[in-house]
Amino acid sequence: MAIPSTRAEIIIGALPFIQAFRGKTVVVKYGGNAMVDPDLTTAVIQDVILMGLVGMQPVVVHGGGPQIDEAMKTSGLKPSFVQGLRVTDPETMRIVERVLVGEINQGIVALIGRMGGAAIGLSGKDGGLVRARKAPPKRGADGQALDLGLVGEVVGIDPRPIQTLQAAGYIPVVAPTAGDESGATYNINADVVAGEMAAALAAEKLVLLTDTDGILDRQGVLLSTLSAHDAERLKADGTISRGMLPKVGACLTALRAGVRKTHIINGT
């Protein structure tokens, strides 16, 4: 435990950072193993609450991959992915919505409340927050185009529901499901939604929590910083692949919209 003088020094050192980000929106994508380890969950939620207490405006967009995988296996279904996106048939979509909206979202909101914060949960379908359409086919490892089923892509985001919650002092917690004009419901990758959300809210930062240290080069060496140009190049030459593709794509979406910095951080 730090002695009081050490704590004071830490707080004083953080003051310029706190002042610079006061009133600024920070979008945090919360997912991976950080969601299934109780200690990591507590640490992440504490950080989110602290951000609000010092005057920042955190917005949480959560995934639920491990929990969805487990629920699918219990139902006798085998998870399948193409370019980091979960192939989603109607039965899988029912599981996705139940787990993301009915279980994980409510659980995060309740945990924030128990730890002294105030949060309201919603999905992309609530208040027209996220408008979606069916994602086009993606090429698999064999080069063949594959229909992803009920996987959606973001058409647009209405920031007003989030801004209303922020103005009232709540931490918005968003589940990444959304509907189209016909009423169909789609599963959207949480990284993608987080990137689009950061762009729509003119966020100061986008932080993606993941199960890896970040982007690695072909030799497995961590690339601690990258420009948008370098990220595009690494996508094009295949260095960035599979599950990292949606994450880097989300960062690029946010940066193109004027978000100053994006971070891919090991949440474990």
When pLDDT is averaged across residues 230-238 and rounded to a whole number, the result is 72
- Give percent above pLDDT 70 in the chain: 86
- Residue 172, domain member (yes or no): yes
- Residues 56, 194: contact at Cβ < 8 Å? no
- Residues 185, 242: contact at Cβ < 8 Å? no
Q: Which of 266, 268, 267 is nearest to 214 (CA)?
A: 266
DSSP string, 67-96: HHHHHHHHTT----EETTEE-B-HHHHHHH
Residue 241 pLDDT class (50, 70, 90 cuts): low
Count the domains in the chain: 1
- Residue 207, domain member (yes or no): no
When pLDDT is averaged across residues 158-176 and rounded to a whole number, the result is 97
- Residue 225, domain member (yes or no): no
Q: What is the pLDDT of residues 42-89, one digit of tens each?
A: 989 999 999 999 899 999 999 999 999 999 999 999 999 988 889 999
Q: What is the pLDDT of residues 43-56, one digit of tens each?
A: 899 999 999 998 99
Residue 4 pLDDT class (50, 70, 90 cuts): very low
Q: Is pLDDT at 211 greater than 90 in this prediction? A: no
CATH number for position 115: 3.40.1160.10
**Residue type at 69 in one-letter notation:** D
Mean pLDDT check: name the lowest of 160-164, 169-173, 233-237: 233-237
Q: What are phi and psi of 257, to 5 degrees?
A: -90, 0
Residue 3 pLDDT class (50, 70, 90 cuts): very low
- Give percent above pLDDT 90 in the chain: 60
Q: Which residues contact 163 (CB under 8 A, 6 or more apart)?
A: 201
Q: Which of 160, 165, 163, 95 is nearest to 129 (CA)?
A: 160
Query: How many residues does the structure list for the chain?
Result: 268
What average pLDDT does the structure give for the chain? 87
Q: What is the pLDDT of residues 24-42, one digit of tens each?
A: 999 999 987 778 888 888 9
Indicate the pTM of the whole model.
0.87
Q: What are phi and psi of 148, to 5 degrees?
A: -85, 0
- Residue 213, domain member (yes or no): no
Q: Is pLDDT at 161 greater than 90 in this prediction? A: yes
- Residue 32, domain member (yes or no): yes
Q: What's residue 268's pLDDT?
A: 62
Q: Which domain holds residue 167?
A: 25-195
Query: How is residue 126 annotated by DSSP?
Result: G
Q: Is pLDDT at 117 greater than 80 in this prediction? A: yes
- Residue 63, domain member (yes or no): yes
When pLDDT is averaged across residues 152-181 and rounded to a whole number, the result is 97
Residue 2 pLDDT class (50, 70, 90 cuts): very low
The vertex-179 CA angle with 104 and 144, nearest 5°, equals 90
Q: Is pLDDT at 267 greater than 70 in this prediction? A: no
Q: What's residue 226's pLDDT?
A: 72
- Residues 253, 260: contact at Cβ < 8 Å? no
As a dihedral over the C-alpha atoms of residue 141, residue 146, residue 151, residue 157, rounded to 10 degrees, the angle is 80
CB atoms closer than 10 angstroms to residue 94:
15
Q: What's residue 13's pLDDT?
A: 56
Q: What's residue 227's pLDDT?
A: 72
Cα–Cα distance for residue pair 228/253, rounded to 1 Å: 10
- Residue 33, domain member (yes or no): yes
Tracing tokens 């639920």 back to the chain, one arrives at 64
- Residue 252, domain member (yes or no): no
Which residue pairs from 105-113 have beta carbons closer than 8 angstroms and sit at least 24 positions apart in sequence? 105/62, 105/173, 105/174, 105/175, 108/30, 108/45, 108/60, 108/62, 108/173, 109/173, 111/41, 111/45, 112/45, 112/48, 112/49, 112/171, 112/173
